[in-house]
Amino acid sequence: MYGILITLIGITAGAVGFLVATFWFQPILRYRDLKAQILSDLIFFANVIKTDGLNPEMKERGWRRVEANRRHSADLAAAFHYLPRLYLWLLRRKSECPDKASVEMMSFSNTFEWTEAEKRVNSIRRFLRFPPEE
């Protein structure tokens, strides 16, 4: 009798653990990894906003910046919809807005002027709560 009860408890605990890991922890970890990649790309592509007059390598890097920002914008919008409600509530309490950051990233990908790009980057940093640039 106790063996069956222990087996049922084990199966239930395993199923609950699987569901929690799949539907709570994986989306949160995916979101956090994406945030780290966005910050890395903001730093890496910081000097290729306006590519007029630059060498071909820097022009290519400028187009890679545009593509990376568009990809990150789409990935961030998709990741936002899979985050657990409790985590979204915590993000809102910390003034972190991944949905607004996604919109700003798409706008940033279409920006080729320094002043406008700086405003977009600052908005992205604020919405994702990145540390300020030094």
Question: pLDDT digit string (tens) for 8-60?
Answer: 888 898 888 888 888 899 999 999 999 999 999 999 988 888 878 778 888 89
Q: What are the two backbone dihedrals, phi and then psi, of residue 109, each rounded to the nearest 5 degrees?
A: -65, -20
Global pTM value: 0.86
Assess whether pLDDT exceeds 90 at residue 134. Answer: no
Assess whether pLDDT exceeds 90 at residue 94. Answer: yes
Q: 């799949």: which residue's tokens?
A: 22
- Let me know if residue 64 belongs to a domain: yes
- Let me know if residue 17 belongs to a domain: no
- Let me know if residue 40 belongs to a domain: yes
- Let me know if residue 2 belongs to a domain: no
- Let me know if residue 83 belongs to a domain: yes
Q: How many structural domains comprise the chain?
A: 1
Residue-range definition of the domain harbouring residue 56: 27-127
What is the pLDDT, as a whole number, of residue 54?
79
- Let me know if residue 68 belongs to a domain: yes
- Let me know if residue 116 belongs to a domain: yes
